[in-house]
Amino acid sequence: MNANDNTPRLMAPKEAALATSLSRPLLSLMADEGQFPKAVKLGERRVAYVRAEVDAWIDARIAARAA
């Protein structure tokens, strides 16, 4: 990540769902099954995903379609 990059390193589950076009419950289920990056626990009732991991997951899905 660039020092001048203002993009947050974490993304809310809602943002991850929008980025992947998958539902929040499905992302959680996939993470539990090892098919999506695990969320980071931020508090008692708050989680977020690491943006770089979600982006890498999306890139891998795109790359897999050519195979």
Beta-carbon contacts of 28 under 8 Å, excluding residues fewer than 6 positions away, are 13, 39
Q: List, for residues 11-28, the tens digit of each pLDDT value.
A: 999 999 999 999 999 999
Q: List, for residues 17-60, the tens digit of each pLDDT value.
A: 999 999 999 999 999 999 999 999 999 999 999 999 999 999 99
All domains of the chain, ordered by start, with CATH?
10-64 (1.10.10)
Nearest to 11 by CA among 45, 42, 43: 42
pLDDT score for 7: 87
Question: Which of residues 66 and 41 earns the better pLDDT score?
Answer: 41
pLDDT score for 20: 98
